[in-house]
Amino acid sequence: MSSGPLYGANVFANGIRQHYLRYGGKGPSVILIPGITSPAITWGFVAEKLAERYDVYVLDVRGRGLSSTGPDLDYGLDPMAADVVGFAAALGLSRPALLGHSMGARIAMRASVSAPDAFSRLALIDPPVSGPGRRPYPSKLPWYVDSIHQSLNGMDAEAMKAFCPTWTEGQLTLRAEWLHTCYEPAIVTAFEDFHKDDIFPDIGKLSVPAMLMVAGRGGVIEKVDQDEAQALCPALEITHVANAGHMIPWDDFDGFFVALGDFLSR
């Protein structure tokens, strides 16, 4: 049986409404920041496992889920990072760990660099490392936009299978239910920023323990990227989930937690 979240709530921080789901309630605090089209609820199955050891707060990033959205917001990396800093301060969390996936990992890095005393450690799950002069991010923008367009008119798990063919029925159903909350301009801006905003300088400025988790079949982070990141941050811990694509816990749930180990509370 799924235990589900303790509750969902909203907090006004960094000038916007931020919606979150809280799991566990005991142990060290962890803020989980999902990727580009992943509302908080879609990470519930991971948060439930983390909640066995941690007090977990899963964010709806602006422009997604139940957080503030619309044409008046800035969906760039800096304001999204400022949201996380503001969120932790608004809830009075004392140096929580950050676990970010994909876009969320980029947000976590930028947040930590901008507020180096606010967070205790970073688990960076397969972040896009594309940027000016670098190879492009392997996923293409139409994959996101086309599926969002379909979701706006309602879609079921079977229709979502065309976009995520390896996912389980439950995963497909949840994504089909929530994808319509992903505001297309927010998604387009974030995708374009994968190629405009180079994250490597942030890696060189990290001042807290950090882990980089690499998907063996994701095609997002290659050996050359790992070597560059390690040179910029010699203390960076690099782990691998060999049989997973970019959506690591969807592809290899157990492998994800083996790679993460006790890093968040070490």
Cite the DSSP H helix spans in 54-211: 77-90, 103-114, 141-152, 157-160, 169-178, 184-196, 200-205
Catalytic residue numbers read 102, 222, 246
The Cα–Cα gap between 199 and 126 comes to 12
88 pLDDT more than 80: yes
State residue 55 phi and psi, 5-degree precision.
-95, 105
Beta bridge partners of 16: 13
The Cα–Cα gap between 134 and 196 comes to 10
pLDDT band at 45 (very low <50, low <70, confident <90, very high): very high
DSSP per-residue string spanning 85-102: HHHHHHTT--S-EEEEET
pLDDT band at 3 (very low <50, low <70, confident <90, very high): confident
pLDDT band at 83 (very low <50, low <70, confident <90, very high): very high
Domain boundaries, the chain: 7-134+197-265
**pLDDT number for residue 123:** 98
Specify the length of the chain in residues: 266
Beta bridge partners of 214: 240
Among candidates 40, 16, 3, 79, which has minimal Cα distance to 182? 40
Residue 102 CB partners (closer than 8 Å, separation 6+): 34, 35, 36, 125, 126, 127, 128, 220, 246
The Cα–Cα gap between 202 and 113 comes to 7
Taking only the tens place, the pLDDT of each residue in 230-247 is 999 999 999 999 999 999
CATH architecture of the domain covering 7-134+197-265: 3-Layer(aba) Sandwich (3.40)
Q: State the sign of the Cα–Cα–Cα–Cα dihedral 142, 69, 174, 167.
A: positive
Mean pLDDT of the chain: 97
**pLDDT number for residue 202:** 98
State residue 147 phi and psi, 5-degree precision.
-70, -35
pLDDT band at 266 (very low <50, low <70, confident <90, very high): confident
